[in-house]
């Protein structure tokens, strides 16, 4: 079974790492768990 989540803009993602394959990023999202993200939808921000 495939699950699809919509992550709203501004959600902080932790434990980011680059991987090979269709989805370029493995990460953890609080409240959802482990996700594979496409790099074209990810924006790097300055840590405050």
Residue 9 clears pLDDT 70, i.e. is over it: yes
Residue 17 clears pLDDT 80, i.e. is over it: yes
What mean pLDDT do residues 7-23 have? 82
pTM above 0.75? no
> Tokens representing 26?
């493995």
What mean pLDDT do residues 27-44 have? 83
Q: What are the residue ranges spanned by the domains of the chain?
A: 10-39
Distance CA 5, CA 11 (A): 13
Q: What is the pLDDT of residue 14?
A: 82
């Amino acid at each position: 079974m495939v699950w699809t989540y919509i992550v709203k803009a501004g959600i902080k993602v932790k434990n980011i790492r680059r991987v090979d394959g269709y989805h370029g990023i493995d990460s953890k999202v609080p409240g959802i768990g482990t996700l594979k993200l496409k790099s074209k939808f990810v924006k790097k921000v300055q840590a405050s």
